[in-house]
Every structure is written in C-alpha cells, then in structure tokens.
Amino acid sequence: MAGGPGVLAGIDVGTTNCKVSVYPPGGPAIATRRRPTPPGAAELVAGVLDDLRTCLDGRRPLAVGVTGVAEGGVPLDAGLRPAGPLIWWHDRRAEDAARRLADEVGRAELFRRTGVDVAAKTPLALWCWHADLTRMRAWVGVPELVATALCGEPLTDRTLAGRSGAFDQRAGSWADDLLALAGIRADQLPDPRGIGSARHVLPTGTPVVVAGHDHLVAAYAAGAREPGEVADSLGTAEAVVMLASSPPSEDAAGTGVSWNRTADGRHWALVSGFPASGRLVEWLRARCAGDYDTLDALTGAVGKPTGLVVLPYLAGRAAPAPDPGRGLSIRGLTARHRFADVAAGVLEGACFHARWMAERQARHTGTELGPVTVLGGPARGRTWMNVKAHVLPGPVRRLRTVDAACAGAAGLAGRAIGLPAPAAGSEELPRDDVLAGRYEAVYRDFLSHARGVAAA
C-alpha cells in the first residue's frame, strides 16, 4: 500500500447487497463498490475482500470497520473455515427450538436478560436446533465472518452478540447458563470487544473493528447519539431506533421491540421493526407502471391528509403490538377518492405506524422523544418524506448519504483509533404546523383502529 494521509474503510454486509466505501477521516466517500450478496460464505467473503482492495486502490488504510445484518451465521472449524452452509436470519428451521426455549426459560426472562424475544432467527435457537456444534472452533455471524477472514481470529462486538439471545446485556458477557442449553461454551464464541489486527489482505496490524449491528451503526452515522434521539432507517424493512439512558421496562416484553447497547457503548438503544415497509412501497410502485418517480408525482399531487385510515400491513404486524393476522385495510374509502388518494393514504399509514413504534419505545423507557433522522435509499421519495416531516415527533431530518451503515462503520473504526467521528450531513425537512395538526387528527383515528380500541 502507498503512503499518504491514510483513509478509513467501511464494510456493510447486508441481506440484499454488500457495500464497501473508503473515506478520508471526517470526509465523504471517495470510492464505493457494491454487489449482490451471495448466499454462500466463501463467495461472500471473496467478493467483499475483492471490493475492499479495489476501493483502497493503493491508499493506506488507517482502520477498517465492518457492520451488517444480525442473526444467522456459520460454524467454523479449527482452521476457521466454514464447517457448514451459511444460515441467514430468514431461515425458519429453528422455530421449534425457539418455542422450547421460550417454554423452558420464559420469553419475559430472556427479554429481560438478553434484550431479544426469542424467535427462529435467534442464534441461541439456531444453536439448539443444530445437530452438532461441539467440535466447532467458533460460531460467527455474517459480518463477523468478514472480520474473521481479515484478522485470522473470531471477532464480534457486543451489539451483534446482543442479538444472539445468549448475551447478558447488563453484565456485557456471554451467559453460560443459556449457552449450556445449546451445549456450547463461551470460548467457542467470538470475543465481544470488537477489535483485532489484520493479518490478511491489509497491511499487517491494520486495526479491524466490528462496528456492530447495522441499524445501530447507521443510527450512529445519522447523529442519533443521545437519549431521545431517533433514527428511522428505511430499506427492505423499516427500523426505528431510539436511544435511551436505561433499558426498557419489563412490560416491553412481547411487544416486538428489542434492546441493546448503542454502537458507541454510551447508552441503550431500542429497535422496532416494520418488516414489510419496503414491500409496501414496491406494491405501490408496481401499480404505477413500475416507476418510483411516477409514484412520487402521483402521491405528491394529493398534497394534504387524505382522510383515509390505512393499516399498512401486507403480511401481519410486528412491533409495537405483534399480530400475524393483521392485513392491509383501508377505512373511509368513498367514491370520491382516486387511486392517488389511496396510494398517498398507504404512505400516511406507514408514517403513522413508524410514529406509533417510536412513541411506544419512549413510553417503555420514560424518554422524551427528540429529533428524528430518516435515512436509507427510500428517503429520497419526496412525498413520503413530506408526510414523515408532518407526522413524526420533533424536527425531522433527512440524511444526505444513502450508505449510512458504511459511513458509520468507517467512523466507528476511526473512533477506535482516536479520530473524531462526526455525524454524516443531513437537512431538516420543512414542517407546517397547521398541516401537522391535520395529520394529528388522522393519526388518532389510526391508533384507534390499529389498537382495536378507542384512542386514548
């Protein structure tokens, strides 16, 4: 590698795409590569490392940060080679094991200790389901697989460990009694300190940092770093991340929310997901000649609350009140409504649902909601963002970069070696108080129908 001032690299291993970007400290990306995420471990690692070499292009790496999807993973043998196929978070084969864990330990107890509501995707359930993990050297998650390949030793960080269902959040360590349920030991799992030294691809000794769970890393990049601040991450799924000074109360168990440390370890973070958010927009787009610009223009022309109450659930509802039987429904539809009104009403319903998730998070922690930063590729949609600006609490900002997780991973890698990590640039969205008041009335109707009871 050449000399010079040096750069930071961020790697984001996602379900759909893997992204690599290189940044001067504190500056915007100067090189970016992305490729579809392959299903296999070897192809994934090879592709990411090739893109890392291409992006560096002879530049001197100061540090590399890795983030990505949580859950899933692969066992590694004594040579740190995959000892089986890569298991992804959407694999359902551990459903029976998850039910047994919930019965044996208790959902509320697992949530209180580990921050997660055990499900088929939870690594502890995967480990209980797996035929034999006693001979594995280590289990690593998907982003940790890349960090392990760079460093030659298993690595993770506490926010990814905190998605496993076997990590004691308050103690900050693996829970031996929970691991024993799956027949594995803490020494078969990666060190959660999250930093190692490169032995492969990069110059020997280059710091490699497991920056954490992608939603939390993106929230850090967006500047959500103090209690009450919120990041609304849009993509295939939508995730609302709210920071708090304490974990949630026990009544949050079973509501679909999870909790964890923040990416920088200073506070706690609550995460609520709207899994079908991206599918909802795709469904609308497909009915607008397959074009996002057409959808944006069509819904933008409505320009006011539609008066429709749309429950935007294409495939059940997760947080903040799980109900797998909930479906898409529209109330108040009359002959005077056009398709444009229906499409705009669906976007309104999605925004109302995001607000409901944030307000429930705040209630579980006694936190006052602060500013909201919206991020992700869909944040470029003008109509959706205009509705969010008038529905979500507090001032609403839009992040300028679409690769917040990459930027956050690079920033956290720089922070680990003593460099400042400023938030990515954002812009505040305009808000009209009169229009916000009109949306408020519709939101109350939405809550009434979504809860199935009279709105408080």
**At which residue do the structure tokens 């795709």 appear?**
282
Residues 242 and 97 in one domain: no
Residues 287 and 192 in one domain: no
* Residue 356 domain-assigned (yes or no): yes
pTM of this structure:
0.94
* Residue 55 domain-assigned (yes or no): yes
Residues 210 and 252 in one domain: no
CA distance 423 to 210: 19
Which pLDDT score is estimated for 2? 55
**Paired tokens of 304:** 């006011």
Closest to 402 (Cα-Cα) out of 373, 433, 377: 377
The residue ranges of DSSP E strands in 56-176, in sequence order, are 61-68, 74-76, 138-140, 167-168, 173-174
Which pLDDT score is estimated for 357? 98
Q: How far apart are the first and last CA of the chain?
A: 62
* Residue 456 domain-assigned (yes or no): no
* Residue 311 domain-assigned (yes or no): yes
- Buried b or exposed e, range 332-359, using 16+ CB within 10 angstroms: ebeeebeebbbbbbbbbbbbbbbbbbbb
Residues 242 and 285 in one domain: yes
Domain boundaries, position 270: 225-451
- Counting Cα atoms < 13 Å in the Cβ hemisphere of 61 gives 28
Q: Is residue 396 helix, strand or coil?
A: strand
Closest to 67 (Cα-Cα) out of 16, 22, 17, 12: 12
Residues 279 and 387 in one domain: yes
- Left (φ > 0), alpha (ψ -120 to 50) or beta: where does 6 sit? left
Last residue of a domain, one of 215, 246, 267: 215
Which pLDDT score is estimated for 455? 39
* Residue 191 domain-assigned (yes or no): yes
CA distance 445 to 138: 51
Closest to 8 (Cα-Cα) out of 206, 212, 266, 198: 206
Structural domain count, the chain: 2
CB 276 within 8 A of CB 313: yes
How many C-beta neighbours within 10 Å does residue 267 have?
Answer: 18
* Residue 220 domain-assigned (yes or no): no
Residues 286 and 417 in one domain: yes
Find the radius of gyration of the CA atoms of the chain: 22
Residues 102 and 167 in one domain: yes
Residues 198 and 251 in one domain: no
Residues 151 and 238 in one domain: no
* Residue 1 domain-assigned (yes or no): no
Last residue of a domain, one of 182, 215, 248: 215
Which pLDDT score is estimated for 222? 97
Query: Torsion angle of alpha carbons 48, 53, 54, 60, nearest 10°?
Result: 130
**Paired tokens of 193:** 């300190």
* Residue 342 domain-assigned (yes or no): yes
DSSP string, 363-392: HHHTPPP--EEEESGGGG-HHHHHHHHHHS
Bond from prior residue into 371 cis (ω within 30 degrees of 0): no
Which pLDDT score is estimated for 453? 47
Residues 79 and 154 in one domain: yes
Q: What is the CATH number of the domain that holds 70?
A: 3.30.420.40
Per-residue pLDDT tens listing for the chain (456 residues):
555 689 999 999 998 899 999 999 999 999 999 999 999 999 999 999 999 999 999 999 999 999 999 999 999 999 999 999 999 999 999 999 999 999 999 999 999 999 999 999 999 999 999 978 888 999 999 999 999 999 999 999 999 999 999 999 999 999 999 999 999 999 999 989 999 999 999 999 999 999 999 999 999 999 999 999 999 999 878 999 999 999 999 899 999 999 999 999 999 999 999 988 888 888 888 888 677 888 999 999 998 899 999 999 998 999 999 999 999 999 999 999 999 999 999 999 999 999 999 999 999 999 999 999 999 988 888 999 999 999 998 899 999 998 999 999 999 999 999 999 999 999 999 999 999 999 999 999 999 999 884 333
Q: How far, in Å, are 36, 138, 306 from residue 261 at the CA level?
A: 29, 23, 39
Closest to 163 (Cα-Cα) out of 238, 110, 208, 209: 110
Residues 211 and 237 in one domain: no
Residues 184 and 204 in one domain: yes
- For 444, counting Cβ atoms within 10 Å of its Cβ (0-12 exposed, 13-18 middle, 19+ buried), the class is middle
Closest to 162 (Cα-Cα) out of 176, 172, 154: 172
Last residue of a domain, one of 215, 245, 269: 215
